Structure 1
Amino acid sequence: MRRTAAALVLFSATTLACGAVGPRSLRYGRGTYNAAIQQTNIEQLLLNLVRLRYRDAPLFLEVTSISSSLSLELGAGLGGTIAPPNSSVAPGSAVSYIERPTITYAPLQGSRFGTQFLSPVELSDILLLYHAGWAIDRIFRVFVQKLGPLQNAPRASGPTPHNAPEFEAFFAATELMRSLWADGLVDLTYLPSVAGNGLTLTLTRRGDDTDTRVARLCALLGLPGPTYKITLTEAPRPGEVGAVQLVPRSLLGGMYYVSHGVEVPPEDYAVGRVPTTRDDAGEVFDWARLTGTLMRVRHGAREPKNAYVSVYYRGLWFWIADNDLDSKSTFSFIAQVLELQSGEIKGTAPVLTLPIAAE
């Protein structure tokens, strides 16, 4: 009878464990790994933005694979006393499982780093981002450094320059684009060409106010007169009507650009850890004028409590506030471009397998 009871206990425990452990490990393990990858990815991105602000070399460590084996261990037995007339026997069981994860990392370097980070963003990718719902002014401010005669702080595409950047007229043009876009008067399409691919910016006329804004935009872009169809191309042909040169940034250039929104303590300026930028009058340039509505990374000696993402670097905490929606939007935008640029270069995407082995 004792053997039968033990066998029943073992059979019941095995059936219960094999039927529950596998699905439960998938339900909870997959979500846990997913959250861990997502959180460490955004922390790594923020860390590299801070590094760029300090002119430190960036490094991206990719998770190339995740595998996890699950071992199930079962035990059963009987316990009690056998002493007439009050004999008692009680069956018992024990179930335990051990997870053994294997995570593989690979640094992003060599030709892959050059292709992914140093190559200019393709105009087709700019179009994808536009149709993904990102505001046209955010796309252009981060990843376009020249639009016709307008300069968007081209030297900010690299380490912090010593001279103040030129950007005001570019911002005026992108603000006009945003106002037209917000009113539903902008359509952006791809224009393949043998001479050089481009984008067609088609504007819809709706009242005199539209005419005024379009005329101002065309004047800023250096066009001879108002037009409701503007061609944005990297290589405009001489004499091409309505064509404006567009020079895109690379992914690394866009990261350098927004990294100027990383605030650093005054003592780091004083000892030269971070370069000081000055205008023509010799006054210190405030980079918040450039990145104020794009990115703000704060710093402090203590770990922040209400941060969207935070990292510890050079003895300080750097973070993006959870209620800073502009910074969070730009940060998510950069993260999406990072994934977009790496789509055809990555090897094996993170894989999670959970084989169940009963012992």
Structure 2
Amino acid sequence: MKRSHSPQRFHQCQDVPHSRGRGVLRAACLLLAGVGAATSLSGCMLFYHGPENYRRDRLAYDRQLSTSQKQEMLLNIVQLRYGDAPTMLETMQIIASYSYQHQVGANISGTPWNGGGPQSFIGGNGSYMLQDNPTVTYQPMSGEGFANNVLQPIPPSVILPLMQSGAPIDILLALTADSLGGAANMRAVMASNKSLYTRSTSTRFAWLLKSLHELQTDDALGVRRVLGQPATKTTPAKPEHSYLVFTNTGVPEVTALQERVKELLHLPRGATEAEIVYGRKPDGKTQLPIVTRSMLSILMDVASTIEVPEVNVKEGLTTASVTPTTAGRRPVIVIRCSTSATAPDDAYVSVRYGNAWYWISKKDMHSKSAFALLQIISGLANSTTSQGAMVTIPTGG
């Protein structure tokens, strides 16, 4: 990318009659040549920004989308606690756009042609700036999509297979199950007078969660799925079925725990699996009835246990928090609050609402895991055909 200069211009730089003038003019020529080279180089450098933009912006937009989704989820939980309706925006498209500006200049001051003096000066300057002006398109979830994704119970066949992906079954069921084999989970309902009605977790439900988690840890529990088939001209459609499987480990203590779990779930002794169905009672077969929750119900239950400023309770802005003593267990997700003017330093995710900050501590691994699982469940509850945000990053020069 070198810029050539004609021999005639070079000789003009040498034929200055005054020696100081020749030296200064020679420096000026070299400066201008350098400026021209820098200008050409800056124009050439634009061709190398494509891969750099892709590497940088793909990860940057991914991180920002993740952060905004966590903040939206937490904000909706807090809003429900204060009687506000949740708002869900789907990021439909992100288009990154760039503008490049570069400026190079030079100046000569003094009188080098007449001998010059100590005030003779030759200088130059340059600047280069990259501006990013992305366009983001959002679409609020409403109508049929809102009803299907937020208000309808999530099918058990969608929830239970998450256990096979490593999701802790105790956290999974604590979030999504209203009852398991007839055993009731905690439930929070906002009454018309803005009071919070809470149904405590039954002792049987709490014991089942603990025992099922132990069996999962011992590889003595699993889920089997039988995929459905669409209807054809000759055969009707076959729905999908999911089964809770009790694996024989050969360990007497584990086998004894499996039998105790089956007894509390009203399953036949010695059963190796039970079909997972929606409902409170089986229909006579070897079935495990589960009443699942909607996303709105899940968020309401999480909202009932978050910390809130005492002054907000006294003023009637919200209700008192459900404590572990009332619920019979530790909150699935511990959300703290602070009336400080600044965001907490140890926050995994935080939002400002009213006069307080609400956050999940990054040192609380249990709450972080449950919150991440809540986001996955929310994605599975989304039954629309949305394919997620489309990110367009220009990679040309």
User: Hey, what's the Cα distance between the residues in 1 that align with 2:302 and 2:197?
Assistant: 17
User: Hey, what's the Cα distance between the residues in 2 that align with 1:26 and 1:195?
Assistant: 45
> Is 1:83 aligned with 2:113?
yes
User: Hey, what's the Cα distance between the residues in 2 that align with 1:142 and 1:305?
Assistant: 27
SS of residue paired to 1:40:
helix
User: Hey, what's the Cα distance between the residues in 2 that align with 1:158 and 1:111?
Assistant: 24
What residue in structure 1 maps to residue 24 of structure 2? Answer: none
1:295 maps to which of 325, 333, 337: 333
> Is 1:311 aligned with 2:311?
no
User: Hey, what's the Cα distance between the residues in 2 that align with 1:275 and 1:188?
Assistant: 39
Paired residues of 2:94 and 2:389 also in contact (CA < 8 A)? no
> Is 1:168 aligned with 2:168?
no
State TM-score, norm by structure 2.
Answer: 0.76
User: Hey, what's the Cα distance between the residues in 1 that align with 2:227 and 2:34?
Assistant: 77
> Is 1:329 aligned with 2:329?
no
What is the RMSD of the two structures over their aligned residues, measured on CA atoms? 3.1
User: Hey, what's the Cα distance between the residues in 1 that align with 2:76 and 2:38?
Assistant: 55
Q: Name the aligned partner's letter for residue 200 of structure 1.
A: Y
Which one has a bigger Cα radius of gyration?
A: 2
Decide whether aligned partners of structure 1 residues 260 and 196 sit closer, same or farther in structure 2, where only a CA change above 3 A counts.
farther
SS of residue paired to 2:57:
helix
2:174 maps to which of 141, 145, 150: 141
What is the 5 A alignment of 1:213-224? 213-224=257-268
Decide whether aligned partners of structure 1 residues 333 and 230 sit closer, same or farther in structure 2, where only a CA change above 3 A counts.
same
Paired residues of 1:157 and 1:249 also in contact (CA < 8 A)? no
What residue in structure 1 maps to residue 245 of structure 2? Answer: 202
Paired residues of 1:152 and 1:166 also in contact (CA < 8 A)? yes
Decide whether aligned partners of structure 1 residues 222 and 269 sit closer, same or farther in structure 2, where only a CA change above 3 A counts.
farther
User: Hey, what's the Cα distance between the residues in 2 that align with 1:348 and 1:208?
Assistant: 48
Decide whether aligned partners of structure 1 residues 238 and 288 sit closer, same or farther in structure 2, where only a CA change above 3 A counts.
closer
User: CA shift at 1:133, angstroms?
Assistant: 0.8
User: CA shift at 1:326, angstroms?
Assistant: 0.9
> Is 1:129 aligned with 2:162?
yes
Paired residues of 1:148 and 1:221 also in contact (CA < 8 A)? yes
**Which piece of structure 1 moves more, 88-97 or 223-232?**
88-97
User: Hey, what's the Cα distance between the residues in 2 that align with 1:231 and 1:20?
Assistant: 58
What is the 5 A alignment of 1:235-250? 238-240=283-285, 242-250=286-294
Decide whether aligned partners of structure 1 residues 8 and 195 sit closer, same or farther in structure 2, where only a CA change above 3 A counts.
closer
What residue in structure 2 maps to residue 338 of structure 1? Answer: 378
Paired residues of 2:307 and 2:321 also in contact (CA < 8 A)? no
> Is 1:273 aligned with 2:317?
yes
What is the 5 A alignment of 1:64-75? 64-75=92-103
User: CA shift at 1:313, angstroms?
Assistant: 1.1
Paired residues of 1:127 and 1:189 also in contact (CA < 8 A)? no
What residue in structure 2 maps to residue 185 of structure 1? Answer: 220
User: CA shift at 1:276, angstroms?
Assistant: 5.4
Overall identity of the aligned pairs, in %: 24
Decide whether aligned partners of structure 1 residues 207 and 4 sit closer, same or farther in structure 2, where only a CA change above 3 A counts.
closer
SS of residue paired to 1:145:
strand
SS of residue paired to 2:260:
helix
What residue in structure 1 maps to residue 64 of structure 2? Answer: 36
> Is 1:59 aligned with 2:99?
no
Specify every segment of 5 or more residues in structure 2 that has no aligned partner in the other structure, as ranges. 1-8, 10-28, 229-236
User: Hey, what's the Cα distance between the residues in 2 that align with 1:66 and 1:192?
Assistant: 36
User: CA shift at 1:6, angstroms?
Assistant: 5.0
User: CA shift at 1:209, angstroms?
Assistant: 1.5
Q: Name the aligned partner's letter for residue 270 of structure 1.
A: K
User: CA shift at 1:69, angstroms?
Assistant: 1.5
User: Hey, what's the Cα distance between the residues in 2 that align with 1:198 and 1:250?
Assistant: 20
Paired residues of 2:93 and 2:138 also in contact (CA < 8 A)? yes
Q: Name the aligned partner's letter for residue 9 of structure 1.
A: A
What is the 5 A alignment of 1:14-25? 14-16=43-45, 18-25=46-53
User: CA shift at 1:163, angstroms?
Assistant: 4.7
User: CA shift at 1:93, angstroms?
Assistant: 4.2
1:99 maps to which of 132, 142, 147: 132
User: Hey, what's the Cα distance between the residues in 2 that align with 1:306 and 1:77?
Assistant: 48
State TM-score, norm by structure 1.
Answer: 0.84
Paired residues of 2:188 and 2:199 also in contact (CA < 8 A)? no
User: CA shift at 1:262, angstroms?
Assistant: 0.7
User: CA shift at 1:293, angstroms?
Assistant: 5.1
Decide whether aligned partners of structure 1 residues 260 and 105 sit closer, same or farther in structure 2, where only a CA change above 3 A counts.
same
User: Hey, what's the Cα distance between the residues in 2 that align with 1:276 and 1:164?
Assistant: 15
Q: Name the aligned partner's letter for residue 135 of structure 1.
A: P
Decide whether aligned partners of structure 1 residues 25 and 169 sit closer, same or farther in structure 2, where only a CA change above 3 A counts.
same
> Is 1:256 aligned with 2:285?
no
Aligned pairs, how many? 348
User: CA shift at 1:45, angstroms?
Assistant: 0.9
What residue in structure 1 maps to residue 26 of structure 2? Answer: none
